Amino acid sequence: MQSGSSTTGTLSGNGAAHSFATLELCANTCLPEACLNCSVRHLAICAALNEEELQELSSIVKTVSLGAHDTVLSEGDPADYLYNVTAGVLQLYKLLPDGRRQITGFLFAGDFVGIALNDAYAYSAEAVTPVKLCRFSRSKLEGMLDKFPYLERRLLNVASNELVQAQDQMLLLGRKNAKEKLCSFLLDLSSRSERRGSDPQLISLPMSRSDIGDYLGLTTETVSRNFTQLKTKGAIQLRENGHVYLPDLDVLHDLSEEA
């Protein structure tokens, strides 16, 4: 079992190793030992903490459960809380005055929400599926940063990682065509699914075609048409309950970069 206090940390992302063997399905609660038993601890910022520190973190954490389509936070609101997703799927988005929407990210178990500018959230967040979140008071967490330097290092890693993802997404939005966008998206879900311990070839798509369109800079119809084309071509198989089987990741990779 890995002890958080030996985390090394670097300016790059992925500084912490992921060596937990089993994932319990229990969610975090307010009990003192809650964080110790957290099923996504190895994925979350909490991986930077040792058992004693986790105990202290438990004291400022509250678990929140939300239903699908519930709002977690809204752009412009005072950024009083930070969140970690422990179960379910969240989407972050920004709106233009006329209602056009850009989804900037889908968040899964272990992902972190709440990086802000000037004490106000820079985006809105809503539940795609029912979700469970760990909620931290931002001011209390900031207080803990001084005591637990590895936590700050870990936050920097998280932010660096998100920055790299954001740059990939800019390349996708600015320079890829619809088919490449969709394949890139499926591959991204695949690798994130794998990191959480699931089969990379069978991914879950709980979000609607419209959500996918707003993430990829496309319309619902274009997303749907491209799903059909990939299916016809044998590059994907649409299964029940919004699952997609990817018979050949290499083929999808090729489709994600060249027309």
Partner DNA sequence: TAAGCTCTTTGACATGCGTCAATAATGTAT
Partner DNA sequence: ATACATTATTGACGCATGTCAAAGAGCTTA
Nearest distance from C-beta of residue 234 to DNA, angstroms: 15
Of the two residues 121 and 227, which places its CB atom closer to a second copy in the complex? 121
Stretch that binds a second copy, among 64-72, 98-106, 189-197, 225-233 (CB under 8 A): 98-106
Of the two residues 32 and 242, which places its CB atom closer to DNA in the complex? 242
Nearest distance from C-beta of residue 214 to a second copy, angstroms: 8
Q: Which residues bind DNA (CB under 7 A)?
A: 177-179, 208-210, 217-225, 227-228, 238, 240-242
Q: Which does 227 bind (CB under 5 to 8 A by kind): a second copy, DNA, none?
A: DNA
Residue 46 is given by DSSP the state G
Cα atoms in the Cβ-side hemisphere of radius 13 Å centred on 47:
27
28 and 38 Cβ atoms separated by less than 8 Å: yes
Site for a second copy in 11-70 (CB under 8 A): 11-14
212 and 172 Cβ atoms separated by less than 8 Å: no
Count of C-beta atoms within a 10 Å radius of residue 118: 6
Instruction: Give me the sheet containing 71-73, strands edge to edge.
Output: 71-73, 124-127, 90-95, 101-107
Q: Which helix (H) or strand (E) holds 16?
A: none
Terminus-to-terminus CA distance in the chain, angstroms?
Answer: 46
Residue 187, interface with a second copy (CB under 8 A)? Answer: no
Q: Which does 248 bind (CB under 5 to 8 A by kind): a second copy, DNA, none?
A: none
Nearest to 192 by CA among 179, 182, 205: 205
Residues engaged in binding a second copy (CB under 8 A): 10-14, 79, 82, 92, 94, 96-98, 100-102, 104, 114-119, 122-123, 138, 141-142, 145-146, 149, 152-153, 155-156, 159-164, 166-171, 173-176, 214-217, 257-258
